């Protein structure tokens, strides 16, 4: 079981998924903590 912390996604869902694949993130066992902006604010 691992804990991963990531910040400021700015709408980059594909990049997040690529990072999770590279670090072998296990949705059943691991924890993801997201800090900062999730959406790209310049669009609003």
As a whole number of angstroms, the distance between CA 31 and CA 40 comes to: 23
Q: Which of 5, 39, 35 is nearest to 19 (CA)?
A: 5
pLDDT of residue 15: 92
Torsion, CA 12, CA 18, CA 24, CA 25, rounded to 10: 20
Give the pLDDT of residue 39: 77
The predicted structure's pLDDT at residue 41: 67
Helices then strands (H, E): number in the chain? Answer: 1, 2
Q: Per-residue pLDDT tens for 1-44?
A: 999 999 888 888 899 999 999 999 999 999 999 998 877 766 55
pLDDT at 1: 93
């Amino acid at each position: 079981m691992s804990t991963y912390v990531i910040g400021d996604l700015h709408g980059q869902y594909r990049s997040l998924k690529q990072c999770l694949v590279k670090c072998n993130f296990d949705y059943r066992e691991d924890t993801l903590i997201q800090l900062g902006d999730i959406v790209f604010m310049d669009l609003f």
